[in-house]
Amino acid sequence: MTVTIFSVLTAAIFIFNVILAAALVFLERRDASSTWAWLLVLFFIPILGFFIYLFLGRQLRKKTLFKWEGSKRVGIEHLIATQMNELHDNSFEFQDPNAKNYTDLVYLHLRNNGALLTQDNNLQIFNDGRKKFNSLLQDIENATDHIHIQYYIFRLDELGNRIVDALTLKAKEGVKVRLLYDDMGSRRISKRLFKKLTAAGGEVETFFPSILPIINPRLNYRNHRKIVVIDGDVGYLGGFNVGDEYLGLSRKFGYWRDTHLRITGSALYPLQTRFIRDWNQASARHDIEYDEAYFPVKQETGNTSMQIVSSGPDEEWEQIKDGYLKLINLARDYIYIQTPYFIPDASFYDAIRIAALSGIDVRIMIPNKPDHPFVYWATYSYAGQMLRAGARVFIYDNGFLHTKMIVTDNKASTVGTANIDVRSFKLNFEVNAFIYDEKVSTDLAELFHRDMKLSTELTYMMYLDRTRMIKTKESIARLLAPIL
């Protein structure tokens, strides 16, 4: 009898796995590598594999998550259509001749993402957390109308409380304060911990909050963006989250090397629009309506040309990854990449491999320590493969490298939140600045060269000499790479 029950249960599990596998293959229409990875999980870890898939594997329904009718009043859609038409018939006026060399990339982002090209911006680059947050706190102190602040990770430690205190003070002064954080990235906090801010009139919202007490069934599809817009005049975008570790105070990670931008100019229009759409998706009661104060008339502050590009699983295309690929394909001299996670899909891997084989100076910089072990060993494995193609790989030794940056030819660059991995390309909501400016790109390249002096260059012989244990870790991590 016991044997019969066991046999029936085994057969039921097998049939259940077959049905789920069939649904995965025929209904969800994933790419082949991701499909095979999930099939391995389902068949080699019965039952448990189903729950892993339930929390990590379900695709987001392709629907419009981010609606905001006020965007029509900003006039961005009209400007996008006008720019596309002018680029198509070669009548667009580039203020910077260098930007004209990237007409194809600009057009791609306009058509693929509705990313308006703005040409009157001024950028300040931060690669140190203390300087970045000191600047942010100063801008918060100077705010007079509104503060929109969004982070993937927001910790209520010393830094987080300093920021909340500053926001609370401004809310008491009558400044409209809105704080948005991701529920998984900031899973150690809850909205009730922001009582002093909300009591002062500030508003706090959570992106994709859990419907269960402890576990969030949407472990994927997280809002990884970091955006701040103050008075519609100053904005921030980049890799730093809010927490003491980003000031280099973590014993585990040590110094935290990241890259963040402070932006003034017309790029604040699309950045503000991005925040409002994210906020309205997360908020059920406090939707933001159009207000001229959010989009003040800009006085020319600079001459940097750039586009704010966002991507996410709600979109048909992988917009930021497409921009990465186009930027790589347009490179003629060098390509510098800094990323904490280098787990490229086939298209990115082939693009960077072909560039290296073609004689372009490809340099990739990754951390020397993992914050996620499987991700790190997959990164190390792909880095080893790039060495065979002629790329140079540097292991950053001065703490933890969290920068997401690509710079090419001292002419074009991108900085933002998107890593080089499937999670950033397909699963997370991300935002990057694509910059067409020689000075900014040269400055970013110089930072890369400075970081090289704090790094160990990984040679192919060193990679081949790795231990059997490292090889085993790499093999397991590579097998799971499509779903990491």
In contact, 432 and 415? CB cutoff 8 Å:
yes
Q: Which of 109, 146, 148, 224 is catalytic?
A: 224
260 assigned to active site: no
User: Which ranges of 27-119 does DSSP label H, i.e. alpha helix?
Assistant: 32-44, 48-56, 71-74, 76-88, 97-100, 103-113
Q: Which of 139, 231, 258, 278 is catalytic?
A: 231
Indicate the SS3 state at residue 306. Answer: strand
Q: Which of 404, 411, 426, 473 is catalytic?
A: 404
| Nearest-angstrom CA–CA distance, 212 and 234 | 37
Residue 434 β-bridge partners? 307, 414
Of the candidates 207, 208, 229, the residue with the CA atom closest to the CA atom of residue 275: 229
Q: Which of 176, 226, 260, 326 is catalytic?
A: 226
Identify the helix (H) or strand (E) that includes residue 84: helix 76-88
C-alpha torsion sign, points 296, 301, 304, 310: negative
In contact, 428 and 221? CB cutoff 8 Å:
yes
Q: Which of 183, 409, 421, 437 is catalytic?
A: 409
| Nearest-angstrom CA–CA distance, 210 and 213 | 7
Q: Which of 402, 411, 426, 473 is catalytic?
A: 402
Indicate the SS3 state at residue 215. Answer: coil
231 assigned to active site: yes
471 assigned to active site: no
Q: Which two tokens stand for residue 429?
A: 């909501």
| Nearest-angstrom CA–CA distance, 207 and 72 | 24
The count of C-alpha atoms lying within 13 angstroms of the C-alpha of 267, restricted to the half-sphere facing its C-beta, is: 33
Phi, psi of 287, rounded to the nearest 5 degrees: -60, 145
372 assigned to active site: no
First to last CA, the chain: 42
| Nearest-angstrom CA–CA distance, 281 and 262 | 25
CA angle 199, 200, 203 (to 5 degrees): 75
- Give me the active site residues, please: 224, 226, 231, 402, 404, 409
